[in-house]
Structure 1
Amino acid sequence: MRNLTTLDTASASIPSGIGQKIPHESAERHVAGSAIYVDDIREPQGLIYAAVIRSTVAKGKITRLDLTPVLHAPGVVTLLTLDDIPGITDIGPVFPGDPILTSDIIAYAGQPIAVVAAKTERQARQAARLAVIEYAKEPPQLDAEAAVAAGELVRPSHQMQIGEDIDLALSSAPIRLEGKMYVGGQEHLYLEGQVSMAVPCEEGGMLIYTSSQHPSEVQKLVAEVLHIPFNRVTVDMRRMGGGFGGKETQAAPWACLAALVANKIQRPVKLRLPRIDDMVMTGKRHPFVNHYRIGTDNQGRILAADITVIGNGGHSPDLTDAIVDRAMFHADNAYFLSNARIQGHRARTNTVSHTAFRGFGGPQGMMIIERAMDDIARHLGCDPLDIRKRNLYQAERDVTPYHQDVDYAPLHQIIETLEESSQYWLRRAAIRDWNAKSPVLKKGLALTPVKFGISFTVQHLNQAGALIHLYTDGSVQVNHGGTEMGQGLHTKVSQIVAQCLGISSEHILVTATRTDKVPNTSPTAASSGTDLNGKAAEQAALILKQRLAEYLAQTLSIDVEQLRFADDRIWWTDTDSKHFAEVVQDAYLARVPLSATGYYKTPKIWYDRTQAKGRPFFYFAMGAAVSEVLVDTLTGEYRLLQTDILHDVGQSLNPAIDIGQIEGGFIQGMGWLTTEELVWNPDGILLSNSPATYKIPAISDAPPIFNVALYEQPNPEATIYHSKAVGEPPFMLAISVWSALRDAISSLSDYRISPDLDTPATPERVLTAINALRFAAKEAE
């Protein structure tokens, strides 16, 4: 009898479910306000509220700590200090360096010192302000370049290279250019802030409700700070109101603190950070300083490249090692570098520990090579698109600096298609004409590609599990290790299971992510949520499908290959069938097990860090965007007029969700590159600490003409239904906006000068670049 679990379901026809524009499973609840987030869970009897007492200086030592006024404040139930922790006190997710509380050394402004718990949230927050803390202040280190020069690193530097003598290749190139740029960080600004609720259980256990992208890590760390076995801690996570990477590692401290207080007083405890505390106390996208030296031939093809990226890690390692690695992996973006040396440094500074953010270092790494493309074009008097196309990966020029082969065909097809559909060259001519006649308002245009590797660069994270139950009424419950943060993961997983079982996704419920159902899960990050958990759910569904098929085939005395699962029925001829629910009921009576687990691990991936060689990515997702801007050269203000996007999603599981992710990723990327500015004062205090001082894009910032299309070509790799990840790659399409701004500024020199424009490219920075270019143009005359 043929084993259905080995069938290539991806090669089968795609019925309703997969490929359909099914709405997000919680869309109506989101709109109606009935979706349950952690802070909406019905509060248990006796709940106590916690607030964090944090440092107000960025570097130094505590010389006096008097918490007596806090303890005597109205409503206060207890205080938690470092001495109250029964287990570990360092909760660094990969490497040590993240003390959960401090009693002496201060490494950044906002560092937790103690926790106060009171009968109301207001009482807890008011009491926290009464702490008397004195410090011996020291000058904070806030400059990443200076930190690297002084050897202040959170992790050792790393280098990858292709080619033998990079310096010789550079010195012998006909054209040599170099450039440097600062790439700003970014606040996650998820709508739901950091929040956790801890409920003590029997036998010294703890139930944790948390807004986290990594429930298993929260389970592990809570158990370790409480000094109890992992199996005594259960983490429940139904949904997040946004994460973007900011809740991958940095949701854990608040869960641990809530659990510690709950354990101390044996009462439920909720800890929810106020927005300002959240912004001050949690890490951001890493700011970077990047530098290139490049040699090209007379047509602008790169012959040699020496690229350095410096990631500002903040005070501790967190995920900085892997993030800078990914910046290095993506410093080539879509371009072949035959001789290249790429160095990555991880600076230690006195700020919050910077952490994962959509793209995980990839966007910061891409920025320097895209700057180089524009610079080469201006030097040669070419259109930047021509230079980009000449340097694309292509035949016999298809190996990355880390020695992975690139399937480059989609890159060329996407760019050629978009070039035509967006009427790039017609618009380029019209813009040149406009700029020649308009003395103040200048337009800019840019087409930039994206090649983004998909997989966790830490190999063991590329695995997932799922658990599926069939109930006797034919309904299906699915649990998997991924977390839902608005991206539609649960919707896609329900479609996958529906496809496997031949039933409507309406009969499928994907439940909250829980560590007591699927253990040892990976974080929902690296665009891998559907790739990993979808495959695991498919495996579990196929096991159940096999059991049902074997049972029914035996009762009908037919071969299992005659059975077809479709339309909520199981068919053995074109006219004979049984309802799916009826077969499940009969199978139960026949004692067929109706629950199964599935497991998946990504194949083919490996990376030897000692050799800086390997295949760290299962495949690449690709795309391109054309953006047009209008700049006021007297004020530096600008508008995005139009964006056209063509993005590679493989065979789309859900085009509506995929397009939504592309649109959202692009707008968030545009915010990172234009308006979202992190500002610390010289004392290391974050000034951009609220939505009043930190500007994310509004709907008015979206381009009035916004064309998004899917490049639907099945992924040649055996991903789930040959789809491709869509969470992170579209973020980097926004580089086209920054490049278009540079294009508009360059028009002031008749496109002879490539302007310096660090990010975020605020109107102030745009005006500074305009004035610098005008001065340079006059000097050149």
Structure 2
Amino acid sequence: MPPEPAPGNVEKRQTAERHVHQAVQHDAAERHVQGSAPYIDDVREPEGTLHVAPGGSPAACGRIRRLELADVATAPGVVAVLTARDIPNVNDVSPVAGDDPLFAVDRVEFQGQVIFAVVAETRDAARRAVARAIIEIDEEVSLVSVDDALAANADIMADYAFRRGDAEAVLAAAAQRIDGRLRIGGQEHFYLEGQAALAVPEEGGCYTVHSSTQHPSEVQHVVARVLGIADAAVAVEVRRMGGGFGGKESQASGWAAMAALAARLTGRPCKVRLDRDDDFIMTGKRHDFIAGYRCAHDLDGRVTAVAVDFASRCGYSHDLSSSINDRTMFHADNAYYYPDVAIHSRRMKTNTVSNTAFRGFGGPQGMLFAERLMDRIAWALDLDPLDVRYRNLYGTGDRNITPYGMTVEDNIAAEVMRELETTADYRARRAGIAAFNADNTVLKKGLALTPVKFGISFTTTFLNQAGALVHVYQDGSVHLNHGGTEMGQGLFIKVAQVVAEEFGIALDRVKITATHTGKVPNTSPTAASSGTDMNGMAAKNAAAEIKARLAEFIARDWQVPVSTILFGDDQVRSGDQVLSFGEVVKKAYLARTHLSAAGFYATPKITWDRPKATGRPFFYFAYGAACAEVTVDSWTGEFTLDRVDILHDVGKSLNPAIDIGQIEGGFVQGMGWLTMEELVYDAKGRLRTHAPSTYKIPTARDVPADFRVAFFDHANREATIYRSKAVGEPPLMLANAVFSAIGDAIHALNPAHAVDLDAPATPEAILFACEAQRAARGG
């Protein structure tokens, strides 16, 4: 393991670690349980606050023939009705491409697209008034599915590819080859707190916006753009979100802009809080995909060539689809080496809501394809799928280069898998399951052990930066602010642990404050699993700067070398001279020492040349493995998740309690995506699964009773914050083991026939796959 980087003068002059690598509860855990943690809808409303409700299109595609809002404007309690005509500057709330209008004009392109908004004295009055609108659309044929868009050649942006060698030539000459097509469904974020924003007009044409967003600076830019004012005239504050999962990275901006526009026109504070059905219908999802693939392999199951064509449903506008689809391609290998490879991606335009970021950001779809590929090879050769996976892992020499030219330096996938194979007793259980399946014709068991290799960094390189602001007050208490946002994942407590560790003070001396664009500017979104990596390091840098000033001051005051100054246990000492941290701070203040610092961090080593499709887009990889055992009822399609073993790589965990929760939660969310969460659109592009009554997410009853989670004890080889690794997104892909285990159980019905099972593996999908297996064997 490489040594810690040589830090500044004061870096190591404190006692052993006190706060980092410790299991500390979430800073708001008690308030979460008590229901006293305030979210946007809990912020005390200023006097005169108005409420805004959006009015959406009843059709998915067509020209707006008639929009009659007279009855809306005269409804009880209505103060104003907003349309595109009321926007003073640009009718655009997009993050990148300029193709997301706040209000539709002339045409609509998905069901629920916002055409107008009502501003009223109460939320109930606003929503009732919306229902009075008369909207007539000259409907056109809608492109709803990926297949629809492919048939119409409706690409929303240019296609893209990674290539190495000559995959087509190898495939053409291959004696052993498999072809297949995998459909991968989308997913609703289903955050417990829906989209919400409160905009308050201030003096001088300024606005304060409270937004449930993962990207405060994006909200700031978009609000300023719509209103035609300077970014500096908009202050965005976020204390916490009730979940985000990517759904509030880009798509919170439109609702904040709507509230701000209403505030500008009325001169009163205005709030938007979406109804759950509207939130489902009007906001983007995880992209669903079709993956068509061809693979050549040898008789031992080693891949010799892969060609895969991805096509995704992007929706009606770009949003973040370019980067999301790119990440699908980056992770189409998961942990496996493809000697000759062609990875191709098409991004399809459909008359559905614009899909957006979701935990994993396209990576899960690519990795699911990779796991299906390993299963197909194993079934074709009658091999244990785990052995096929081992034989295809990245190795050394010329077998550690990804399709996009990055060297896999920290390759520990095999080590993680071998350890989990042992602790999960995989081989003995595999034999037991074979015996069970031989004795049972209806119930079939399946077992799978799958790896995770997930790249950590934004592939949009400039986003890999973060800032923090630290103040030390005269009593020795510390004010902490940084550019990351808290959505329940424990980012704030982790960064506070880092700052307390740096100063050597009690954790309760560090006061966590709301993310605010007026304190830390130009923030990157809290996404890409990089929140702790970047904001933790920025805060550490800020605290280290102040600590260095304190050390230099007290060394002069005590007339000792600065190298003898130690910080720890709430004290500052040199030899026999000791003062409390607060006493040193007070003395330093009286001596006119600057006790504030703005820290900054830019992720090192990363480069990415997209036109040439080569570089190092990731600082490092996070690894993991999961072993899942299921029992499938082949007559009903229902399954039970009997046991799950997880071994996950978090480096040297900053906070084991938080990280365990992230691993468990990510796995369960991934399991939901792959087994039960199904988005259903009708032929006219109307979302039919737009409420908890029609869209099923995992509950406590879906968590396996036998659920074993452990850390892989392996410090990050890269100089991350205290050698930890990101833990936000990678655990979601551990759920691939459940999908593969279900396939393994179905395969037992007819081992001579490959299973055709798409995601999500709902009971219906499982039943159809079982019936196909029985039909293939002749009954």
* TM-score, with structure 1 as normaliser: 0.98
Provide the secondary structure at the position in 2 that maps to 1:156.
Answer: coil
Counterpart contact for 1:10–1:720, Cα < 8 Å: no
Counterpart contact for 2:749–2:774, Cα < 8 Å: yes
In the alignment, the residues of structure 2 paired with residue 309 and residue 378 of structure 1 have an alpha-carbon distance, to the nearest angstrom, of 23
Structure-1 residue corresponding to 2:396 = 395
**CA deviation after TM superposition for structure 1 residue 408, in Å:** 5.1
Structure-2 residue corresponding to 1:316 = 317
Over residues 379-404 of structure 1, what are the superposed CA-to-partner deviations in whole Å (9 max), with x where a residue is unaligned?
00100000000000012210100010
Amino acid at match of 1:754: A
The 5-angstrom pairing of residues 13-28 of structure 1 reads 14-28=16-30
Structure-1 residue corresponding to 2:375 = 374
Amino acid at match of 2:310: V
Counterpart contact for 1:5–1:539, Cα < 8 Å: no
In the alignment, the residues of structure 1 paired with residue 155 and residue 14 of structure 2 have an alpha-carbon distance, to the nearest angstrom, of 52
Amino acid at match of 1:133: I
Over residues 616-674 of structure 1, what are the superposed CA-to-partner deviations in whole Å (9 max), with x where a residue is unaligned?
00000000000000111110101100000000000100001000000000000000000
**CA deviation after TM superposition for structure 1 residue 412, in Å:** 1.3
Provide the secondary structure at the position in 2 that maps to 1:757.
Answer: coil
* TM-score, with structure 2 as normaliser: 0.98
- Aligned pair 1:180/2:181, yes or no? yes
Structure-2 residue corresponding to 1:588 = 589
Amino acid at match of 1:472: Q
In the alignment, the residues of structure 1 paired with residue 403 and residue 175 of structure 2 have an alpha-carbon distance, to the nearest angstrom, of 22
Amino acid at match of 1:730: P
Size of the aligned set, in residue pairs, is 774
Counterpart contact for 1:323–1:356, Cα < 8 Å: yes
Q: Which segment drifts farther, 94-103 or 733-742?
A: 94-103
In the alignment, the residues of structure 2 paired with residue 529 and residue 134 of structure 1 have an alpha-carbon distance, to the nearest angstrom, of 45
Structure-2 residue corresponding to 1:447 = 449
**CA deviation after TM superposition for structure 1 residue 560, in Å:** 1.2
The 5-angstrom pairing of residues 429-578 of structure 1 reads 429-573=431-575, 575-578=576-579
1:418 to 420, 423, 430: 420
In the alignment, the residues of structure 1 paired with residue 552 and residue 229 of structure 2 have an alpha-carbon distance, to the nearest angstrom, of 44
Structure-2 residue corresponding to 1:365 = 366
Q: Kindly tell me: are residues 67 and 336 of structure 1, through their superposed partners in 2, closer, same or farther at Cα, counting changes over 3 Å?
A: same
Over residues 510-539 of structure 1, what are the superposed CA-to-partner deviations in whole Å (9 max), with x where a residue is unaligned?
100000000000000000000110010010
Provide the secondary structure at the position in 2 that maps to 1:308.
Answer: strand
- Aligned pair 1:672/2:676, yes or no? no
- Aligned pair 1:771/2:775, yes or no? no
Amino acid at match of 2:763: P
The runs of 4+ residues in structure 1 deviating greater than 4 Å are 7-14
- Aligned pair 1:762/2:762, yes or no? yes
In the alignment, the residues of structure 2 paired with residue 8 and residue 453 of structure 1 have an alpha-carbon distance, to the nearest angstrom, of 33
In the alignment, the residues of structure 2 paired with residue 778 and residue 404 of structure 1 have an alpha-carbon distance, to the nearest angstrom, of 48
Structure-2 residue corresponding to 1:137 = 139
Provide the secondary structure at the position in 1 that maps to 2:651.
Answer: coil
Identity rate, percent: 52
**CA deviation after TM superposition for structure 1 residue 753, in Å:** 2.2
Counterpart contact for 1:5–1:543, Cα < 8 Å: no
**CA deviation after TM superposition for structure 1 residue 488, in Å:** 0.2
Structure-1 residue corresponding to 2:236 = 235
The 5-angstrom pairing of residues 642-721 of structure 1 reads 642-721=643-722
Over residues 430-486 of structure 1, what are the superposed CA-to-partner deviations in whole Å (9 max), with x where a residue is unaligned?
000001011211110000000000000100100000000001111101000000000
**CA deviation after TM superposition for structure 1 residue 754, in Å:** 2.2
Structure-2 residue corresponding to 1:302 = 303
Counterpart contact for 2:14–2:567, Cα < 8 Å: no
**CA deviation after TM superposition for structure 1 residue 139, in Å:** 1.2
**CA deviation after TM superposition for structure 1 residue 9, in Å:** 5.0
Counterpart contact for 1:65–1:133, Cα < 8 Å: yes
Provide the secondary structure at the position in 1 that maps to 2:597.
Answer: strand
Provide the secondary structure at the position in 1 that maps to 2:351.
Answer: coil
Structure-2 residue corresponding to 1:202 = 203
The 5-angstrom pairing of residues 24-43 of structure 1 reads 24-43=26-45
Q: Kindly tell me: are residues 216 and 121 of structure 1, through their superposed partners in 2, closer, same or farther at Cα, counting changes over 3 Å?
A: same
Q: Which segment drifts farther, 306-315 or 182-191?
A: 306-315
Structure-2 residue corresponding to 1:49 = 51
**CA deviation after TM superposition for structure 1 residue 504, in Å:** 1.4
Q: Kindly tell me: are residues 599 and 346 of structure 1, through their superposed partners in 2, closer, same or farther at Cα, counting changes over 3 Å?
A: same
**CA deviation after TM superposition for structure 1 residue 577, in Å:** 1.7
Counterpart contact for 1:10–1:721, Cα < 8 Å: no
Structure-1 residue corresponding to 2:633 = 632
Structure-2 residue corresponding to 1:60 = 62
Amino acid at match of 2:415: Q
Counterpart contact for 2:78–2:118, Cα < 8 Å: yes
Provide the secondary structure at the position in 2 that maps to 1:6.
Answer: coil
Q: Kindly tell me: are residues 11 and 747 of structure 1, through their superposed partners in 2, closer, same or farther at Cα, counting changes over 3 Å?
A: farther
Counterpart contact for 2:489–2:728, Cα < 8 Å: yes
The 5-angstrom pairing of residues 279-358 of structure 1 reads 279-358=280-359
Structure-2 residue corresponding to 1:193 = 194
In the alignment, the residues of structure 1 paired with residue 151 and residue 459 of structure 2 have an alpha-carbon distance, to the nearest angstrom, of 27
In the alignment, the residues of structure 2 paired with residue 605 and residue 660 of structure 1 have an alpha-carbon distance, to the nearest angstrom, of 29
In the alignment, the residues of structure 1 paired with residue 156 and residue 10 of structure 2 have an alpha-carbon distance, to the nearest angstrom, of 46
Counterpart contact for 2:13–2:564, Cα < 8 Å: no
**CA deviation after TM superposition for structure 1 residue 145, in Å:** 3.2
Counterpart contact for 1:306–1:340, Cα < 8 Å: yes
**CA deviation after TM superposition for structure 1 residue 148, in Å:** 3.2
In the alignment, the residues of structure 2 paired with residue 492 and residue 33 of structure 1 have an alpha-carbon distance, to the nearest angstrom, of 22
Provide the secondary structure at the position in 2 that maps to 1:313.
Answer: strand
**CA deviation after TM superposition for structure 1 residue 269, in Å:** 0.4
Structure-2 residue corresponding to 1:159 = 161
Amino acid at match of 1:86: P
Structure-2 residue corresponding to 1:598 = 599
**CA deviation after TM superposition for structure 1 residue 319, in Å:** 0.3
In the alignment, the residues of structure 2 paired with residue 89 and residue 19 of structure 1 have an alpha-carbon distance, to the nearest angstrom, of 48
Amino acid at match of 2:104: T
In the alignment, the residues of structure 1 paired with residue 381 and residue 12 of structure 2 have an alpha-carbon distance, to the nearest angstrom, of 48
**CA deviation after TM superposition for structure 1 residue 759, in Å:** 0.7
In the alignment, the residues of structure 1 paired with residue 323 and residue 35 of structure 2 have an alpha-carbon distance, to the nearest angstrom, of 37
- Aligned pair 1:6/2:8, yes or no? yes
Amino acid at match of 1:566: G
**CA deviation after TM superposition for structure 1 residue 680, in Å:** 0.6
Counterpart contact for 2:211–2:236, Cα < 8 Å: yes
**CA deviation after TM superposition for structure 1 residue 10, in Å:** 8.6
Structure-2 residue corresponding to 1:119 = 121
In the alignment, the residues of structure 2 paired with residue 67 and residue 566 of structure 1 have an alpha-carbon distance, to the nearest angstrom, of 66
Provide the secondary structure at the position in 2 that maps to 1:775.
Answer: helix
In the alignment, the residues of structure 2 paired with residue 479 and residue 5 of structure 1 have an alpha-carbon distance, to the nearest angstrom, of 23
Counterpart contact for 1:5–1:542, Cα < 8 Å: no
**CA deviation after TM superposition for structure 1 residue 167, in Å:** 1.0
Structure-2 residue corresponding to 1:171 = 172
Over residues 685-730 of structure 1, what are the superposed CA-to-partner deviations in whole Å (9 max), with x where a residue is unaligned?
1010001100000111001100000112111111111110000000
In the alignment, the residues of structure 1 paired with residue 102 and residue 123 of structure 2 have an alpha-carbon distance, to the nearest angstrom, of 21
Over residues 161-219 of structure 1, what are the superposed CA-to-partner deviations in whole Å (9 max), with x where a residue is unaligned?
122x2211222233111111110000000000000000000111111001000000000
In the alignment, the residues of structure 2 paired with residue 427 and residue 571 of structure 1 have an alpha-carbon distance, to the nearest angstrom, of 58
The 5-angstrom pairing of residues 95-110 of structure 1 reads 95-110=97-112
Counterpart contact for 1:4–1:542, Cα < 8 Å: no
**CA deviation after TM superposition for structure 1 residue 571, in Å:** 1.7
In the alignment, the residues of structure 2 paired with residue 689 and residue 661 of structure 1 have an alpha-carbon distance, to the nearest angstrom, of 27
Which consecutive unaligned segments of at least 5 residues does structure 2 have?
A: none
